Amino acid sequence: MNSKYPKNVGKRIVFVTILTAAWFGLLVFHLVQLQVIHHSEFKSKVEDQSRHIDIIPPKRGTIYDRTGNILARSVPCHSVYYIPSKTEPHPVQLEKIQRLKPVLNLTSRQVQDISRRIRKNQSFIWIKRKIDPSAHTAIKNREIEGIHFLGEMKRVYPQGNLASHLIGRVDIDGKGISGVEQKYNDLLMGKAGKRINLLDAKRREYQFEILEKPHPGRDLTLSIDETIQYIAQHELQKTVQETQAKWGSIIVSNPASGEILAMASCPEYDLNQPLQSVSQLRLNRPIHHLINPGSTFKIIPFATAIESGVIQENETFDCRGKFIQVGYKTFRDHKAMDILTFPEVFTYSSNIGTIQIGRKISQEKFYRMIQSFGFGRPTGIDLPAEEKGIVRPLQNWEKNSWAFLSIGYEISVTPLQILQAMNVIANGGILVPPRVTPDLSYAGEPRRNQPSGDRVVSESTARLLTEYMKRVVREGTGKNAAFDKYDIAGKTGTAQKIDRATGAYSAQAHTSSFMGFFPADHPLLSIIIVIDEPQGGFYGSEVAAPLYRKASSHIVRYLGFPSPGHSIKTIIAADKRESEDSEYK
Amino acid sequence: MMVRKKIKKRAVILGISAALTAMLILTFYIWHQAKSIHLGYSIGSLEEQVLELEREVEKLEAEKSRLLSLERVESIARRELNLVFPEKEQLVFIEKTKDKNRP
């Protein structure tokens, strides 16, 4: 049969067919390899390159003062990060980072760190967190491949250093690490959400989808009053500067509710730039620093003496001697005294007289009273890391411990614990724990100022001690604390500090303090002031008492000179408008 | 031989009308869907704007709080306006009486 094709055409067709089939076979094999054998591996690679899951940070709750002023708030900002390319060489990628260096003020060390991370093939690298809006715009306009932004929240503190120790701060991830920010972190924090970003071949976002919505944190209102806090802090700062003291602290509270209206430490620091301060400055001294209370502690032996009935009010004590010897220790008065009655010993703060009183009271009752007033255990204030103080157990007392304790030594307490003890007297013998959030138990009505808590001493004892404390300010060591219009009940304190070199009490270093409440018969505000190592004058009467007078007079002016019987809630919340024309507003 | 069935004119009109109505409904449905999607996008975008504006308000409130901080106000009063605290003698206190005519 004659064919119109050459002889070997058939073979060629067969050959081409086999070749094509083999080629197809190879293709199919490779396809199977990609789609079946290495399916999961390549799928994850594709997903890595085309999708990115972001965490949506929740909005942290705002912290307000009791009058609704913002103390801390989270505002939106951007953080910039880099998703390295799997294909681009390292120098090209580093070049992109170098372009950001001047805009973000990156240090060479930071750039080196990012370079190292790129080499390690990390899939996500932070460039800088919480950048300025101007830097965000500048970088966005440059449209650099692989550079992305994440919306975050930045904590701002509009009042700067106001109540900085009490409010505390958050870390870079917005988690509370001190103060109220730490204590109420769970409430303020909220819950983060998630979103998925779809990326194109050049790793630019072209679409996103919310996987999980973020839940914002709850707002928090503190019992702090911005203006009272400012007055207290401002006056404290002036005194610390004038007396060249190491540090000072002040607490203003409402004794009936235990609400803290102001709490300050000096030196202070700016919450917006916390890392520029040394960690010692960030100590909230009213609850973190232990001191010997000195004469402010005398309310305890006096309360014990009255409660146990071992001393009559008209009983006298010979305080004319220059000293009194108890065991190996000699105790002195700050000046020559006379024969003093029981209340006069308190009024003139005689150590010799107080030790004679201390000798008459049972050590066991004295120890129980110290515990009842809340010493040796945390007050339970809603702030983190509160010091509990040091109270030696009765069985470990030395022979003369009772004498030391009578005048406020051999015991370490926080300023807040002393305030709490004084508030027992102000509250007619009832211990009300302090708090930095408002007392909601009697929100609105009824408008009264009745404390509720554990009874420590009888009402008559508290009333008697209040009278003694009034005399301290009227005619005793606390005269410098007196100011017009109000009867003040107070007590001064001056304690020698331990000299670390010798281990003995120093004659040069003192802790000066003053505590007091007013109006004495219907207490509205109680204040404690502690000044550490003031230079020049060091007595509580000459350092802390004048500060008490200045701070208190400014505060009552701001409150519109409240009349006795008003509750703090009524004055500060309801009648606030009436005092708006005062000096500080 | 095929016999052509005579279709009534009325049936034709009815058929065409039904087809037109179906098309109209379909068109309306598609338009409605498109409009819904478009509105959905608009709502989403507006919600985003509302969120942005709310955040802006919060930011401005914080800024206002910073500008009105007592420390700043006092420093401006002292430095720029040369104001000082009044002395005790310079203060006059007026007793407030309730004015029944005032609202």
* pTM attached to this predicted model: 0.82
Of A69, A230, A561, the CB nearest to B71: A230
Asked if the C-beta of B62 comes within 8 angstroms of chain A's C-beta atoms, the answer is yes
Asked if the C-beta of A193 comes within 8 angstroms of chain B's C-beta atoms, the answer is no
For B7-47, the pLDDT digits (tens) are 788 888 999 999 999 999 999 999 999 998 888 888 878 88
Partner-chain contact B96 A69, CB within 8 Å: no
Residue A262 CA to residue A250 CA, distance in Å, equals: 8
- Nearest chain A residue to B53 by CA distance is A76
Handedness of CA A545, A548, A554, A560 (dihedral sign): negative
**Structural contact between residues A229 and A63, judged by C-beta atoms closer than 8 angstroms:** no
pLDDT of residue A133: 84
Interface predicted TM-score (ipTM) of this complex, two decimals: 0.72
Partner-chain contact B62 A584, CB within 8 Å: no
Angle, vertex CA A13, rays to CA A11 and CA A14, nearest 5: 65
For B57-98, the pLDDT digits (tens) are 988 999 999 999 999 999 999 999 999 888 777 777 776 665
pLDDT of residue B94: 72
Instruction: Write the secondary structure of B50-87 as one string of H (helix), E (strand) and C (coil).
Output: HHHHHHHHHHHHHHHHHHCCHHHHHHHHHHCCCCCCCC
Please state, in angstroms and as integers, the Cα–Cα distance from residue A373 to each residue in A109, A128, A495, A576, B87, following that order.
Answer: 55, 51, 20, 34, 40
Residue A115 CA to residue A94 CA, distance in Å, equals: 6
Residue A574 DSSP class: I
Asked if the C-beta of B48 comes within 8 angstroms of chain A's C-beta atoms, the answer is no
Partner-chain contact B71 A160, CB within 8 Å: yes
User: Tokens 């408002």 — which residue?
Assistant: A438
Which residues in A69-163 belong to E strands, given as ranges?
70-82, 125-131, 147-156
For residue A111, the SS3 value is helix
CA distance A578 to chain B (A): 9
Kindly give the pairing relationship between strand A220-221 and strand A323-326. unpaired
Q: Which of these, A477, A481, A541, A533, lies nearest to A508 by C-alpha position?
A: A533
Residue A585 DSSP class: -
Partner-chain contact A75 B59, CB within 8 Å: yes
A133-142 vs A90-104: helix axis angle to the nearest 10?
150
- Nearest chain A residue to B60 by CA distance is A75
Asked if the C-beta of A227 comes within 8 angstroms of chain B's C-beta atoms, the answer is yes
pLDDT of residue A580: 39
Q: How many CB pairs under 8 A join A and B?
A: 45
Asked if the C-beta of A75 comes within 8 angstroms of chain B's C-beta atoms, the answer is yes
Residue A425 CA to residue A422 CA, distance in Å, equals: 5
Kindly give the pairing relationship between strand A63-64 and strand A220-221. parallel
Residues in chain A: 585
Please state, in angstroms and as integers, the Cα–Cα distance from residue A163 to each residue in A73, A125, A231, A508, A517, following that order.
Answer: 14, 36, 11, 31, 22
Partner-chain contact B71 A227, CB within 8 Å: no
Please name every residue paired with A208 in a beta bridge, in sequence order, or none if there are none.
A197
Which residues of chain A have a pLDDT value below 70? 1-6, 202-205, 276-277, 439-451, 564-585
Residues in chain B: 103
Q: Which of these, A59, A75, A78, lies nearest to A134 by C-alpha position?
A: A78
Of A158, A160, A227, the CB nearest to B62: A158
Of A69, A234, A583, the CB nearest to B65: A69
CA distance B74 to chain A (A): 9
For residue B87, the SS3 value is coil
pLDDT of residue B89: 77
